[in-house]
Structure 1
Amino acid sequence: MAPSDDSAAAAADPVSHPAFAALYDRCMPDRFLVAPHREYLAADLSGRVLDLGAGDGATFPYVAEASDAATIEYHAVEPDPNMRRRAAETARETDLDVHLRDARGESLPYADDAFDAVLSGLVFCTIADPDAALDEVARVLQPDGEFRFLEHVRADGWRASGQELLNPVWKRAAGGCNLTRETVARFVGHDAFAVEEVERVALGIFPASPMHRGRLRRTRDAVGSR
């Protein structure tokens, strides 16, 4: 599926949110709120792994704790230079050797079938063209490779209406985060993936809720034929 002219233009814009990056740890106390779900993303990894939109490297310590360094080759992409600097610092503080690159989800600098697993932790809300990024995830995953995610999605009823009203301001203040995306529906509806599990989790407060986590398996069929 080709991106629209508008989404292609958005994807070409530089990604830089210095104020949000500086305040992120205060706004999002990761260890306090998200630890069980980062552990879910990091559990029992092996082979080549890609951390999509690594942010400040919040998932790195969990991977270092949960995985044998001898059995994992860990890659990460982050387009925001402010977050990427923080991710590099986090990588240095862990025992995990991280290959960190400046790249967007819509155009990953890796060969087809390059990874055994791709991780996405609160990422697809900020990607300019999420459909193109999901096609890229499918492309770089090996057949039977696993896509693990934790994402917030559009709510129902009055909460959805509230998200619509708040989204323009929220997006500017929260590093490009969109409140109204049907992210899980996008994931499970993609022809390149089979659903292993999807569950709603007790995490997040309005307007960045509800949240879901899950695992998808890359099928052996052709990628991106939607």
Structure 2
Amino acid sequence: MTDDHPLFAALYDPLTKPAETVFAPHREWLAKDLSGHVLDVGTGTGAMFPYYAAARNSAHQTPDDTSAGDRPSLTVSAVEPDRHMRRRAVTRAEEAGLDVTIYDAGAESIPLADDSVDVAVVSLVLCTVDDLDASIDELARVLRPGGELRILEHVHAGGVTGSVQSAVTPAWKRVAAGCHLDRESGDRLLADDRFETLEFERLDSSFPLVTPLVRGRFRRKRDRDASTGLDALASELRAAVDTLLPTG
């Protein structure tokens, strides 16, 4: 989302409250065993914040003989381009007792350093971004090698439902802050060779148009250039050793 949507922001929580009973188990899954620097992408009104707070509190429930320094830390950053959504997210963070830095930015331009994020959480966001490829490029950039990308998204259904989704998407985008019903974000990530798929499943969302849901975990691979460089160095070392060893 690149434009402000004050009416959509005001109505978002009341309208989605019934759906949150469906999303709640998925949000718990997204926040399970989190530690390190977590980036919440397209935070909206902060729907994930209570789950991050619960994950932080759970991590701190350690045995009495465990020192505070041994406890896993959890630092949360977030990006959200809509100022009306950000205001509500700040309130949600305060209510959850969560210390979070919320940046005025979208998924296509994340104001964080390369390799600085341990886990990026993307929940019902990729349907709204203006540029899906640029958003995935940014996620790959900020995630450290070995870091995790966790997603919950709705995607194109295919078949008759998919045809209906494609037909109504132009109108739907205007009333739903740029949401595309026919995005193929799950398949796009599965095909991206910068990520290793750890877990991926397609689920019925129970909502006629906003279906199916996909959720998954992806690991950021080592950069191709770094990998190639290490392989070349190893080859050179083997060649050097071979010249020093006696033959025959």
User: For residue 245 of structure 2, what is the aligned residue in structure 1?
Assistant: none
Give the letter aligned to residue 23 of structure 1: L
User: For residue 200 of structure 2, what is the aligned residue in structure 1?
Assistant: 198
SS of the residue aligned with 1:55? coil
Whether 1:61 and 2:46 are equivalent positions in the alignment is no
Of 167, 178, 181 in structure 1, the residue corresponding to residue 180 of structure 2 is 178
Q: How much does 1:204 deviate? A: 4.1
SS of the residue aligned with 1:28? helix
Of 63, 81, 84 in structure 1, the residue corresponding to residue 83 of structure 2 is 81
Instruction: Please give the alpha-carbon distance, in whole angstroms, between the structure 2 residues aligned to 1:146 and 1:77.
Output: 17
Sequence identity (%) = 49
User: For residue 37 of structure 1, what is the aligned residue in structure 2?
Assistant: 26
Q: How much does 1:19 deviate? A: 1.1
Instruction: Please give the alpha-carbon distance, in whole angstroms, between the structure 2 residues aligned to 1:200 and 1:164.
Output: 19
Instruction: Please give the alpha-carbon distance, in whole angstroms, between the structure 2 residues aligned to 1:204 and 1:134.
Output: 27
Task: Check conservation: 1:42, 1:62, Cα contact below 8 A.
Answer: yes
Q: How much does 1:200 deviate? A: 1.5
Equivalences for residues 9-20 of structure 1 within 5 A: 14-20=2-8
CA deviation string 1:72-108 (max 9, x = no partner): 1100000011111110110111121111110111111
Task: Check conservation: 1:193, 1:219, Cα contact below 8 A.
Answer: yes
Instruction: Please give the alpha-carbon distance, in whole angstroms, between the structure 2 residues aligned to 1:95 and 1:77.
Output: 18
Instruction: Please give the alpha-carbon distance, in whole angstroms, between the structure 2 residues aligned to 1:156 and 1:114.
Output: 37
CA deviation string 1:203-224 (max 9, x = no partner): 241211111101000001238x
Give the letter aligned to residue 196 of structure 1: L
Give the letter aligned to residue 147 of structure 1: L
Give the letter aligned to residue 191 of structure 1: D
Task: Check conservation: 2:204, 2:211, Cα contact below 8 A.
Answer: no
Whether 1:119 and 2:108 are equivalent positions in the alignment is no
User: For residue 148 of structure 2, what is the aligned residue in structure 1?
Assistant: 146
Give the letter aligned to residue 14 of structure 2: R
Give the letter aligned to residue 91 of structure 1: A
> Please, what TM-score do these two structures have when normalized by structure 2?
0.82
Q: Which has the higher helix share?
A: 2
Which blocks of at least 5 consecutive residues in structure 1 are unaligned? 1-10
> Please, what TM-score do these two structures have when normalized by structure 1?
0.89
User: For residue 169 of structure 1, what is the aligned residue in structure 2?
Assistant: 171
User: For residue 12 of structure 2, what is the aligned residue in structure 1?
Assistant: 24
Pairwise CA RMSD: 1.5
Q: Provide closer, same or farther for how the CA distance between residues 204 and 24 of structure 1 changes in structure 2, counting only shifts above 3 A.
A: farther
Instruction: Please give the alpha-carbon distance, in whole angstroms, between the structure 2 residues aligned to 1:110 and 1:195.
Output: 24
Which blocks of at least 5 consecutive residues in structure 2 are unaligned? 61-71, 226-248
Q: How much does 1:26 deviate? A: 2.1
Give the letter aligned to residue 107 of structure 2: G
Instruction: Please give the alpha-carbon distance, in whole angstroms, between the structure 2 residues aligned to 1:170 and 1:204.
Output: 18
Q: Provide closer, same or farther for how the CA distance between residues 92 and 49 of structure 1 changes in structure 2, counting only shifts above 3 A.
A: same
SS of the residue aligned with 1:19? helix
